[in-house]
Each structure stands twice: as structure tokens, then as C-alpha cells.
């Protein structure tokens, strides 16, 4: 089957790809299983050197990567540059340090000589995404390869060119092609990876797909990074100007196509009028094609438009936007949906587009309750000058990450970043540890007969 890369700013086909056949995917996983053994037995310094070289090549090719992402995914160049520099390159040394600090655990006592070693999972099936296609690829490929795994990687069909470029960087750095394997295609090819003999799956995408993967993957480790519906809790004692700017950017970056962007805002009655007025003024100043990116496809835009219509049925009032833009490309007007009080039920599904919902609440407790009244648990933000109180609020929010007076800036390489509730299955430890499994070795090294064994005679 053919897949097309399309420029969402112009609605033009840039390149066509042939999807990898199902048979090829099975063979690829088989070969990766063999290649992984050799990769894992290399001295650590060789894998470290390959990872450092990947970082060097990314720096060298930064402009090319940024241009590709702009062309194929519509992402603003500055944001991409920042994401690569601050969130990939700044984290590489940390990955290496984390890996070097992994030590065999010794649980020996007088009776048992026991240790726990950490070994690679094996072959990691990685199914990628298009909204941060390069970042998401690297924050999986780097720790997976460093820890001695092979990877079978399928970029999103909406970002095949970026996926190809990421793979070419990894190969150029010396990682063999059967250790980092590229599969091209869409949901069918993703399914084939899920149902194959890979030892672990890393998936970034929607909740519905995540649920299907859970049913089809069988028993194996899953790292699932899924949808979100992040809340912003605005407190009465907020620095209004800072919050307006932060929530404008945090709500509308990349055309709202960000898992951890602010999608719901809860604002107390006392400051609601001022906040809403200034926020809407701010939204009206944002320009399509400049601050506001296009949606990835026309179907995605239709979905957002339908969701906005559903929200209106739930009692939302449109304060600005609320329709498809009329210029070329898949643009949707930046939109504010307003719920005048907490008796109205806010539209509860994630809207993956430039739409921010604002609800007026009585107080912070009500804001926390409504923020937590959601199946999602990815991120949240709290806006208050009283940062101690904000930390208390942060602790009561049922999400993997909470920003205070800030948003959308994960720890480099998302070393710790994961969702609660339906937003995913995160690693219980840092990202390096996700790609290692435990091997317990209990050695009766003196070859003694144990006194509790059955008598032989
Ligand atoms: P999607 O689930 O449709 O697709 C994501 C990837 O999965 C693609 O590579 C696709 O080809 C593949 N795929 C689709 N169906 C599959 C199946 N049945 N089995 C295996 N693979 C399959 O995602 P989308 O709608 O394109 O992306 C948007 C969603 O991703 C949003 O909900 C967003 O919040 C989420 N997201 C989450 C994170 C995170 O880190 N939590 C990051 C980015 C995006």
C-alpha cells in the first residue's frame, strides 16, 4: 500500500512511500532478535560512543530536521528547534549517566548468594507519532539502544519523511540496520508489530489505539503514552499577565496538537471576567500560519469542528473562533469555548486542535474536583503567586506531571514523563530502566545439598 506525505500548510503531496509488507515485518523482527544479541554484548563504551555520535549528527543536521518537520508536520521551526535542543540534546548525557549508574544488586546472606542483574528487554517495537515525530523517536531510540536493545521502529504514516531521516542519523552513527530497523506504514503495519514477536512495545498515540494494543499485544512490557486533557487551575492570587501569556502559549502551541497542552481552564468567579476578557483578546491577536499551526489533515480538522459543535450542545458558548479557516492549508481558527458556571458539564473528550475550554468555578476546591473528573491523567498546570499552595494543589491533581506557573516543558528526554489513569502506562522508574528487565541469579556456589530437600536414600 502507498502512503503519502502531505504538507498540511499547502495541502500538497510531497512524497509517496511503499508500506513495508507484513512478511517483511515478521522477517525484520526475526533478524532483529539475532542482531540484538551481538549489540548487547558490545562493551558499554561502544554503545555510548554511538549515542554520542547520534547527538553530534543531530546538531550538524538540525536545520534540515527542523525544515522537514515544518514541511511534513506543519510544526513551527522555532518550537522544533527548541524541542530538539532542550529536550533531546540536553538529555543525552543524563541518559548515559543513568545507564552507567545501573548496578547489579546484591541480596546475598549466609544461606543464599543472590544477585539481580539488569539486562535489555530484547527487541523493542516502537510505534511513533507525528506531532513531535523526531523528539518522540529519539527519546525512545536513544535509551533503548544504549541499554542493548534492538528496535523495530515505525514512524507515524503522517511523518514518514521525518522517520526516515531519524533512522538515517542513527545508522550513520554506527548502529547497524538490523539493530535499528525501519518499518513504514500506518495502522496495519502498526498492528503487525504489536502482534509480532517483539519483546516490548513503546507506543505514542490515541487512547483508542492504546486500548487495542493492550488487547492484542499479549503478555509483554508496554510503555503507552496516550491522550491528555490537561487542566489549568487559575487561582485568585495569580499574576494575571503571566498566566494569560502562559496559558495562551500552553493552550495553543502547535495548533493545539500537543498531548500535554492546556485544554481546560478553571478560573474562579472573582477574577473570571478579567481573565476571560484578556485571554480572548490575546487569542484574537494570534495569526494563522504564524503562531497557529495547521492541523495535520483535513479529517483531523473535521473532527475538531464536530467536537466544537458537540461542546456547544453541552452548553458552551463560543467567545472566538469556532470554525474552519478559509485560507489554504488545514487551519482551524483558534477557539475559546466558555462555560459560565460549574453547573454546566464541560465537553470531556480531548480536542486535538486549537481549542481551549474555560469554565468559571466557585473556588480552588471545585476547580480541583472538576479537573480530576476526567478519564485522562497526563498533565496539569497551576497558576498562583503562592507557590507553596500551588504545590499542595499539584499533589491533589491526578496527573503524571504538574507545572506551576509554566507549561509544556518536560524534563529533557522526558526521563520522567508519563500519564496516570487512561493517559498511559508509564515506566515506574526513569526511562533508562524501562528498557531493562531484571534477571535474578541465585547461586548455590558451594554445591551444597540443602537440608530441607527430600532425602535421596
Ligand atoms: P493514533 O493512535 O491514531 O496513531 C499513532 C500511531 O499508531 C501511528 O504510528 C499509527 O500508524 C499507529 N497505529 C494506528 N492504529 C494502530 C493499531 N491499531 N495498532 C498499532 N498501531 C496503530 O494517534 P493520532 O490520533 O495520530 O495521534 C494523536 C494522539 O496521540 C492524541 O490523542 C495525543 O494526545 C496523543 N499523543 C500522546 C503523547 C504522549 O506522550 N502521551 C504524545 C503525542 C501524542
**Of the listed 225, 333, 350, 364, which one is catalytic?**
225
Pocket test for ligand 1, best of 209, 215, 263, 376 (most atoms within 8 A of CB): 209
* Contact (CB, 8 A) for 324 and 304: no
Distance of alpha carbon 398 from alpha carbon 369, whole angstroms: 10
Pocket probe for ligand 1: among 69, 127, 129, the residue whose CB has the most ligand atoms within 8 Å is 129
The CA distance from 399 to 410, in Å, is: 14
Question: What is the C-alpha to C-alpha distance for residues 125 and 146, in angstroms, rounded to an integer?
Answer: 15
Helix (H) or strand (E) holding 361: strand 355-361
Q: Would residue 364 show up in a list of annotated catalytic residues for this protein?
A: no
Q: Identify the residue whose C-alpha is closest to ligand 1 atom 5.
A: 205
447 is catalytic: no
Nearest Cα residue to atom 4 of ligand 1: 205
Identify any residues that bridge with 201 across adjacent strands, giving them in sequence order. Answer: 125, 222
Tens place of pLDDT per residue across the chain (457 aa):
899 999 999 999 999 999 999 999 999 999 999 999 999 999 999 999 999 999 999 999 999 999 999 999 999 999 899 889 888 998 999 999 999 999 999 999 999 999 999 999 999 999 999 999 999 999 999 999 999 999 999 999 999 999 999 999 999 999 999 999 999 999 999 999 999 999 999 999 999 999 999 999 999 999 999 999 999 999 999 999 999 999 999 999 999 999 999 999 999 999 999 999 999 999 999 999 999 999 999 999 999 999 999 999 989 999 999 999 999 999 999 999 999 999 999 999 999 999 999 999 999 999 999 999 999 999 999 999 999 999 999 999 999 999 999 998 888 888 888 899 999 998 778 899 999 999 999 999 999 999 999 998 7
Distance 14 CA to ligand 1 centre (A): 22
Rounded Cα distance, 421 and 109, in Å: 40
Taking the centre of ligand 1 as the mean of its atom positions, its distance from the CA of residue 206, in whole angstroms, is: 4
DSSP 86: I
Instruction: From 132, 204, 205, give the residue whose CB has the most ligand 1 atoms within 8 Å, as the site to mutate.
Output: 205
DSSP category for residue 295:
P
Residues having CB closer than 6 A to ligand 1 are: 127-129, 131, 154, 156-157, 186-187, 190-191, 194, 204-206, 209, 212-213, 225-228, 259, 350, 352, 378, 419, 424
Report d(CA 30, CA 20) in Å as an integer.
15
> How far away, in angstroms, is 105 Cα from ligand 1 center?
37
Which three-class secondary structure state does DSSP give residue 358? strand
CA separation for the pair 208, 358 (Å, rounded):
26
CA atoms of 4 and 100, how far apart (whole Å): 41
Amino acid at each position: 500500500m502507498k502512503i503519502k506525505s502531505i504538507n498540511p500548510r499547502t495541502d500538497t503531496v510531497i512524497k509517496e512511500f511503499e508500506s513495508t509488507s507484513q512478511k517483511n515485518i515478521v522477517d525484520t523482527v526475526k533478524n532483529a532478535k539475532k542482531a540484538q544479541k551481538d549489540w548487547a554484548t558490545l562493551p558499554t563504551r561502544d554503545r555510548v560512543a554511538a549515542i554520542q555520535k547520534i547527538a553530534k549528527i543531530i546538531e550538524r543536521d538540525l536545520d534540515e530536521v527542523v525544515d522537514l518537520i515544518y514541511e511534513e508536520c506543519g510544526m513551527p521551526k522555532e518550537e522544533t528547534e527548541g524541542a530538539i535542543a532542550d529536550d533531546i540534546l540536553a538529555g543525552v548525557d543524563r541518559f548515559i549517566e543513568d545507564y552507567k549508574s545501573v548496578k547489579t544488586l546484591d541480596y546475598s546472606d549466609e544461606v543464599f548468594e543472590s544477585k539481580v542483574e539488569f539486562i535489555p528487554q530484547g527487541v523493542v517495537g516502537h510505534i511513533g507519532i507525528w506531532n513531535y515525530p523526531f523528539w518522540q523517536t529519539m527519546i525512545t531510540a536513544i535509551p533503548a539502544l544504549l541499554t542493548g536493545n534492538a528496535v523495530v521502529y515505525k514512524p507515524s504514516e503522517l511523518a514518514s519523511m521525518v522517520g526516515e531521516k531519524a533512522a538515517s542519523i542513527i545508522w550513520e552513527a554506527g548502529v547497524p540496520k538490523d539493530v535499528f530497523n525501519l518499518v513504514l506504514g500506518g495502522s496495519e503495519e502498526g498492528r503487525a508489530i504489536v502482534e509480532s514477536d517483539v519483546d516490548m512495545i513503546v507506543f505514542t498515540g490515541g487512547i483508542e489505539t492504546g486500548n487495542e494494543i493492550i488487547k492484542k499485544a499479549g503478555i509483554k512490557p508496554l510503555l503507552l503514552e496516550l491522550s491528555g486533557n490537561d487542566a489549568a487551575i487559575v487561582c485568585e492570587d495569580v499574576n494575571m499577565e503571566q498566566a494569560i501569556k502562559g496559558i495562551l502559549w500552553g493552550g495553543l502551541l502547535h495548533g493545539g496538537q500537543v498531548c500535554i497542552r492546556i485544554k481546560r481552564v478553571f478560573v474562579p468567579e472573582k477574577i473570571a471576567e478579567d481573565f476571560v476578557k484578556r485571554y480572548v483578546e490575546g487569542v484574537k491577536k494570534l495569526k494563522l500560519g504564524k503562531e497557529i499551526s495547521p492541523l495535520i489533515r483535513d479529517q483531523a480538522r473535521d473532527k475538531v469542528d464536530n467536537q466544537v459543535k458537540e461542546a456547544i450542545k453541552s452548553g458552551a458558548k463560543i467567545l472566538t473562533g469556532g470554525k474552519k479557516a478559509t485560507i489554504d492549508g488545514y487551519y482551524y481558527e483558534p477557539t475559546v469555548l466558555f462555560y459560565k458556571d460549574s453547573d454546566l458539564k464541560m465537553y470531556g473528550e480531548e480536542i486535538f486542535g486549537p481549542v481551549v475550554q474555560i469554565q468559571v468555578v466557585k473556588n480552588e476546591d471545585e476547580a480541583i474536583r472538576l479537573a480530576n473528573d476526567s478519564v485522562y491523567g497526563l498533565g496539569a498546570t497551576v497558576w498562583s503567586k503562592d507557590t507553596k499552595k500551588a504545590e499542595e494543589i499539584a499533589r491533589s491533581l491526578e496527573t503524571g506531571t504538574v507545572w506551576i506557573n509554566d507549561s509544556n516543558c518536560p524534563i529533557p528526554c522526558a526521563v520522567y514523563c508519563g500519564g496516570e489513569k487512561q493517559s498511559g502506562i508509564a515506566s515506574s522508574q526513569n526511562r533508562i530502566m524501562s528498557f531493562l528487565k531484571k534477571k535474578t541469579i541465585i547461586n548455590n556456589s558451594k554445591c551444597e545439598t540443602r537440608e530441607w530437600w527430600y532425602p535421596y536414600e
